Amino acid sequence: MDNLAFNLRIQKAKESRINEVDFSNLQFGKIFSDHMFVCHYTDGMWQQPEIKPYSAITLEPSASVFHYGQAIFEGMKAYKDDAGDIFLFRPQENYKRMNKSAVRLAIPEFPESWFDQGLRALLKIDSEWIQKGFGNSLYIRPFMISTTSGIKASPATDYMFIIITSPVQAYHSGDVKVKIADYYSRAANGGFGAAKAAGNYAGQFYPTQLAIEEGYQQVIWTDDATHEFLEEAGMMNLFFRINDVLMTCPASERILDGVTRKSVLTIAEKMGIKTEVRPVRVKELIEAAENGTLQEIFGSGTAAVISPISGFGYKDKKYTFIPPADLYASKIKEAILNIQYNKVEDPFGWRVKVD
Ligand SMILES: *Cc1c(COP(=O)(O)O)cnc(C)c1O
């Protein structure tokens, strides 16, 4: 499949919308660049891919995705350095993960080389939408949906792979407090928590709303069987610093294998920070908060790189802690941003130039 010739059709927008955009005042994911990449799957194969103006798509009301939710996505970013060169961060990880999600949702895999070539072509056409400056980037949202008409509950025979992009600024999450789940679950053993599948997020909205009503911003999910182990938050993996050890739970079939998570672990180890990848108990976190050994909690994900968490709630109790001056979160975030924006050498080979 990967050997198929990539023959891209390009239809350019008559006029760019870029002059209507206030790049100094962007809301996350509200504005989209001039073009999108689209490829249809039909008759058992991916058809000729194209880049065309960002526009609505038309599907029948009976289209499979509306009823049975064969829908998956990815999240990546493109960065520009001061010289105007464009970079991606570990894009192969996203190509692979998209196809892992596809397999789990019975969606046909999309050739990685097509993904790469299509994305590069799209970034070149919309390169002006990637603004220079630390913190500015173009958020990339690839996704796949089933489009076959008819409400038979079986895998569709037709799909679309689409990439849209949205300019974003540095993401400041503000003061984040999280509620530890003691009843609801995001994913279960044998389920599809490890896939970036639309349904995983729909299922989180209601419990998250309940947490917001209680004064929290997000939910920390725990394992569905016992609710004793800390897993992840909405679109972030989690890290806990207790007694100067940075810990995160292992990726599993319930937990998304985050690219940022992997990068945080590698960077932390390089900095000489002691790391532990092992199941972390809710009880352990509460004890650490009570005896003063809890120093930091943060989430990791493409959108914000790292989001510090200032406190958590469990059942009816609220816990806070006093973070040290020398935050792992800040050091590690800066190290990752410096690689992404081509400010330092990249000893890991993570930065990929788009030319
Ligand atoms: C996308 C996502 C993450 C973070 O993954 P990155 O590759 O670091 O962006 C973590 N958890 C969930 C549930 C996610 O959807």
Same-domain status, 41 and 117: yes
- List 161's β-bridge partners, or say none: 39, 144
pLDDT of residue 205: 97
Q: Is 351 within the bounds of a domain?
A: no
pLDDT of residue 225: 96
Percent above pLDDT 70 for the chain: 99
How far, CA to CA in Å, does 99 sit from each of 45, 109, 266, 307? 15, 5, 24, 27
CB atoms within 10 A of CB 191: 17
Reported as a pLDDT band with limits 50, 70 and 90, residue 4 is low
Last residue of a domain, one of 112, 147, 169: 169
Cβ(34)–Cβ(16) under 8 Å? yes
- List 71's β-bridge partners, or say none: 145
> Model confidence over 292-347: pLDDT tens digits?
999 999 999 999 999 999 999 999 999 999 999 999 999 999 999 999 999 999 99
What mean pLDDT, rounded, does the chain reach?
96
Q: Is 346 within the bounds of a domain?
A: no
Same-domain status, 161 and 206: no
> Model confidence over 275-305: pLDDT tens digits?
999 999 999 999 999 999 999 999 999 999 9
Residue in 211, 217, 215, 268 with CA at minimum distance from that of residue 240: 268
Same-domain status, 127 and 248: no
Q: Is 226 within the bounds of a domain?
A: yes
pLDDT at 3 over 90: no
Q: Is 350 within the bounds of a domain?
A: no
pLDDT of residue 174: 79
Query: Which structural domain range is residue 47 located in?
Result: 9-169
Q: Is 2 within the bounds of a domain?
A: no
What's the number of domains the chain is made of? Answer: 2
Same-domain status, 214 and 138: no
pTM of the prediction? 0.97
Last residue of a domain, one of 169, 196, 227: 169
Same-domain status, 159 and 61: yes
Task: Locate the ligand 1 atom nearest the alpha carbon of residue 259 and give its number.
Answer: 7
Cβ(311)–Cβ(305) under 8 Å? no
Same-domain status, 133 and 217: no
User: How open is the CA angle 257-261-263, to the nearest 5 degrees?
Assistant: 120
Q: How far is the CA of 345 from the centre of ligand 1 (A)?
A: 25
CATH number at residue 263: 3.20.10.10
Same-domain status, 133 and 183: no
Report the alpha-carbon distance of residue 278 to residue 243 in Å, rounded.
Answer: 16
Report the alpha-carbon distance of residue 39 to residue 18 in Å, rounded.
Answer: 25
pLDDT of residue 1: 52
Nearest CA to ligand 1 atom 2: 235
The set of protein residues with a Cβ atom below 6 angstroms from ligand 1 is: 75, 196, 232, 235-237, 256, 258-261, 300-302
Report the alpha-carbon distance of residue 117 to residue 286 in Å, rounded.
Answer: 48
Q: How far is the CA of 101 from the centre of ligand 1 (A)?
A: 12
> Model confidence over 114-172: pLDDT tens digits?
999 999 999 999 999 999 999 999 999 999 999 999 999 999 999 999 999 999 998 77
Task: Locate the ligand 1 atom nearest the alpha carbon of residue 236 and give its number.
Answer: 10
Q: Is 275 within the bounds of a domain?
A: yes
Q: Is 251 within the bounds of a domain?
A: yes
Amino acid identity for residue 117 in this structure: Q
Same-domain status, 96 and 131: yes
Same-domain status, 163 and 187: no
- Is the alpha carbon torsion for 314, 318, 324, 326 positive or negative? positive
Q: Is 215 within the bounds of a domain?
A: yes
Same-domain status, 145 and 34: yes
Helix pair 328-340, 259-270: axis angle to 10 deg: 110
Q: How far is the CA of 143 from the centre of ligand 1 (A)?
A: 14
> Which mutation among 231, 237, 238 tests ligand 1's pocket best, with the greatest number of atoms within 8 A of CB?
237
Same-domain status, 181 and 165: no
HEC string of 226-292 equals CCCEECEECCEEEEEEECCEEEECCCCCCCCCCHHHHHHHHHHHHCCCEEEECCEEHHHHHHHHHHC
Phi, psi (5° rounding) for residue 220?
A: -95, 120
Same-domain status, 156 and 260: no
